[in-house]
C-alpha cells in the first residue's frame, strides 16, 4: 500500500520537503531572527496556512470518499463547483485581510517594533493577493491525490520552494533589508502562479481530467466492464454505453459534512500557528525563532507521518467502501489497512523523535548556522525543536485515526477534540508567555489529549487496529534514550557536526529495527 506509490513519487516528496527546509534556511540567512524575519515568516506562511485551515485537509476528508462513489463525469462537475466556491472565498478573505491588516499584524506578531508594523501590513497585502491561488491549488492537489498522481502533488511544492529559495538567496547576498522584503512579495506571487500552472498541466496530462479544469462540456461517465444493471456495493450505477452523454450536475456533500471536516482539518493547523503567535510576545524575532524550531518538527511530521496517512487514505477509503462487515463493522481488508498505517506511522514517529532528540543542535547548525543567525538564536531553535519532538508520537496516532473518521463521516469528534485543545493552549498563554520551551510542552500535552479523545471516538474496534506490542517496545526504547541523554550517558548527543548527526541517524534506524523485531505488523506494512 505504501511502497507501491512509486520511488519517483517518494523521491519528489523528499526533494520538495528538503527544498522547503532550504527555503527556511535561506530565509534565516537573509533576515535571521530579526523583526524583518518575523515579517517574512508572516507573509510567506499566511496564505498556505489559511488554505490549509479552510480547505486543504477538508477537501481531502470530504472529496476523497465522495469521489470514490461517483462516476468520473460527476467528479468533474463536483470539482468545478468547489473551484468556483473556493475562488469566491479566497477573494472575500483577501479583501478582509487587506482592510484589517493593522489589527491583524498586532494579533499575529505582537512583538514587532512599531516602525515595522507598516511594512508588515504591506506584506499582508501580498498574502491577500496569493490566497485565492493557494485555495485553488489545494483543490487541484486533492484531485491529483484522488488519482494517486503523487508526482503531480509533490512536484507543485518543488515549483514554489524553488522560486522562493532562489529569491531569498538573491536577497541574502545582495539586499537583506526592507527593500529586499518588498521584492520578496513579488517573487512570492510568481511562485504561487507557477504552482497553479504545474497543477493545471498535470491534470490536463491525465486522461479524463482535462474537462474538470476549465472546460464546461461533459463527457460520458466512465464505464466498467460489467453486465448492464450490475453494480458493485457502495458505488452508484453508471450510464449504459449505448446511452447518449448528458450533462452531469455536481452533487456536493452536505454543508454539515464540509463544516466538520474543515474544523477537523483546520484546527490542527491552528495549534502551532497559535503557539507561534504566542511566542511573538517574547519580543522581536521570537516569532521567527519558534517558526524555525517548529520546522525541525514539521519536516519529519510531513515527510514520514503524514506521508503514511496521505498514501494510506485512498486505500483505506476504498477498503471501507467494498469491505463492510456485519453490523457495519469494517471487514478484514479495512482492518488490515488501518493497522498497517498505525504500525508504520508510529514507528516512524519514534524513529524521527529519537533522531531529533539527539541531533537537534547539529541539525540546527547545519540548516541555520550561516547568514544572520547568531549562536544564541541557534541554541534556542535547537532546544525548542528537541522539546517539540515528543509531539510526533500523538500526531502519528492522530494522522491515521483522522483518515478513518473521515471515511466514516464522523469528523465532528475530531473537531471537538481539537477545539478543546486550542482552548487549553490559549488558556496557557499566561503561563507560557513567550517561552518557546513551555509553548512546545503545552503543544505536546494538548496533542496527547487530542490523540486520546480521537482513539476513544473510534470505539472498541480500535483495539484490533493498534499494534500494541510494537508501540510499547518502541515507545519504551524512546523513553530510555531520553533518560540516557538527560543523564549524560550520551556525550556526543549534545555536540554538533557529522558525529552528532551520525549518532542521531543510528538511533532512528535502531528504532525502526526494534519495530521490525517487535512483531509482524511493521514488516507487513512495508510489504503491502
Taking the chain (528 residues) in runs of 10, the rounded mean pLDDT of each run is: 54 77 84 83 86 79 81 86 92 92 85 83 89 92 84 85 89 73 88 93 69 40 33 35 43 76 78 87 83 86 74 72 58 78 90 91 84 81 92 91 81 85 90 87 94 90 89 93 81 64 90 89 76
Cα 429 from chain centroid (whole Å): 25
pLDDT at residue 225, rounded to an integer: 32
Distance of alpha carbon 441 from alpha carbon 142, whole angstroms: 33
User: Hey, is 467 helix, strand or coil?
Assistant: coil
Long-range own/partner contacts, residues 119-125 (CB < 8 A, 24 or more apart): 119/39, 119/178, 119/181, 120/38, 120/39, 120/42, 122/182, 122/185, 123/39, 123/40, 123/42, 123/43, 123/181, 123/185, 124/42, 124/43, 124/46, 124/97, 124/98, 125/97, 125/98, 125/101, 125/185
Q: What are phi and psi of 220, to 5 degrees?
A: -60, 135
Residue pair 348/378 in contact by the 8 Å Cβ criterion: no
Set of cell numbers at residue 461: 474496534
Residue pair 263/411 in contact by the 8 Å Cβ criterion: yes
Using alpha carbons, select from 247, 253, 356, 242 the residue that is nearest to residue 299. Answer: 356
Indicate the DSSP class of residue 410: -
Q: Does this model's pTM top 0.85? A: no
Nearby residues of 208 by Cβ (< 8 Å), 6 or more positions away: 72, 219, 222
Nearby residues of 110 by Cβ (< 8 Å), 6 or more positions away: 277, 280, 281
pLDDT at residue 59, rounded to an integer: 86
pLDDT at residue 229, rounded to an integer: 33
Distance of alpha carbon 265 from alpha carbon 56, whole angstroms: 8
Residue pair 252/237 in contact by the 8 Å Cβ criterion: no
pLDDT at residue 490, rounded to an integer: 67
pLDDT at residue 224, rounded to an integer: 33
Amino acid at each position: 500500500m505504501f511502497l507501491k506509490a512509486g520511488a519517483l513519487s517518494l523521491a519528489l516528496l523528499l526533494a520538495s520537503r528538503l527544498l522547503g527546509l532550504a527555503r527556511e534556511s535561506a530565509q534565516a540567512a537573509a533576515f535571521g531572527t530579526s523583526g524583518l524575519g518575523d515579517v517574512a515568516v508572516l507573509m510567506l506562511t499566511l496564505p498556505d496556512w489559511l488554505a490549509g485551515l479552510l480547505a486543504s485537509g477538508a477537501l481531502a476528508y470530504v472529496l476523497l470518499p465522495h469521489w470514490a462513489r461517483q462516476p468520473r463525469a460527476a467528479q468533474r462537475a463536483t470539482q468545478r463547483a468547489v473551484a468556483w466556491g473556493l475562488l469566491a472565498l479566497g477573494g472575500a478573505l483577501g479583501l478582509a485581510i487587506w482592510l484589517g491588516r493593522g489589527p491583524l499584524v498586532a494579533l499575529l506578531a505582537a512583538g514587532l517594533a512599531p516602525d515595522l508594523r507598516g511594512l508588515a501590513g504591506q506584506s499582508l497585502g501580498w498574502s491577500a493577493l496569493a490566497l485565492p491561488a493557494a485555495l485553488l491549488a489545494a483543490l487541484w492537489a486533492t484531485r491529483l491525490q484522488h488519482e494517486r498522481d503523487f508526482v503531480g502533488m509533490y512536484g507543485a511544492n518543488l515549483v514554489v520552494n524553488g522560486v522562493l529559495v532562489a529569491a531569498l538567496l538573491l536577497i541574502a547576498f545582495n539586499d537583506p533589508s526592507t527593500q529586499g522584503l518588498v521584492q520578496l512579495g513579488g517573487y512570492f506571487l510568481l511562485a504561487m502562479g507557477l504552482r497553479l500552472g504545474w497543477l493545471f498541466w498535470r491534470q490536463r496530462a491525465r486522461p479524463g481530467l482535462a474537462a474538470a479544469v476549465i472546460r464546461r462540456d461533459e463527457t460520458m461517465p466512465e464505464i466498467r466492464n460489467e453486465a448492464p444493471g450490475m453494480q458493485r456495493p457502495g458505488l452508484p450505477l453508471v450510464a449504459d454505453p449505448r446511452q447518449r452523454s448528458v450533462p452531469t450536475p455536481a452533487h456536493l456533500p452536505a454543508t454539515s459534512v464540509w463544516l466538520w471536516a474543515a474544523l477537523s482539518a483546520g484546527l490542527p493547523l491552528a495549534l502551532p500557528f497559535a503557539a507561534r503567535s504566542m511566542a511573538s510576545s517574547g519580543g522581536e524575532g521570537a516569532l521567527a525563532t519558534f517558526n524555525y524550531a517548529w520546522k525541525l518538527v514539521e519536516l519529519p511530521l510531513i515527510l514520514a507521518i503524514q506521508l503514511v496517512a496521505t498514501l494510506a487514505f485512498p486505500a483505506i477509503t476504498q477498503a471501507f467502501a467494498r469491505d463492510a462487515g456485519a453490523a457495519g463493522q469494517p471487514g478484514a481488508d479495512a482492518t488490515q489497512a488501518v493497522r498497517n498505517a498505525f504500525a508504520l506511522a508510529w514507528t516512524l514517529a519514534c524513529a524521527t523523535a529519537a533522531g531529533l532528540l539527539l541531533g537537534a543542535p547539529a541539525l540546527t547548525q547545519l540548516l541555520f548556522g550561516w547568514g544572520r543567525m547568531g549562536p544564541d538564536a541557534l541554541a534556542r531553535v535547537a532546544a525548542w525543536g528537541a522539546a517539540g519532538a515528543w509531539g510526533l508520537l500523538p500526531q502519528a496516532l492522530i494522522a491515521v485515526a483522522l483518515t478513518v473518521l473521515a471515511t466514516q463521516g464522523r469528523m465532528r469528534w475530531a473537531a471537538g477534540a481539537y477545539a478543546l485543545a486550542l482552548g487549553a493552549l490559549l488558556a496557557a498563554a499566561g503561563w507560557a508567555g513567550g517561552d518557546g520551551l513551555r509553548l512546545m510542552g503545552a503543544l505536546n500535552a494538548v496533542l496527547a489529549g487530542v490523540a486520546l479523545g480521537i482513539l476513544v471516538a473510534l470505539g472498541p474496534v480500535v483495539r484490533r487496529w493498534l499494534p500494541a506490542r510494537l508501540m510499547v517496545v518502541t515507545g519504551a526504547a524512546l523513553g530510555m534514550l531520553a533518560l540516557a541523554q538527560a543523564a549524560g550517558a550520551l556525550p556526543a548527543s549534545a555536540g554538533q557536526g557529522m558525529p552528532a548527526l551520525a549518532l542521531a541517524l543510528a538511533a532512528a534506524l535502531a528504532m525502526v529495527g526494534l519495530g521490525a523485531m517487535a512483531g509482524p505488523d511493521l514488516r507487513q506494512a512495508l510489504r503491502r
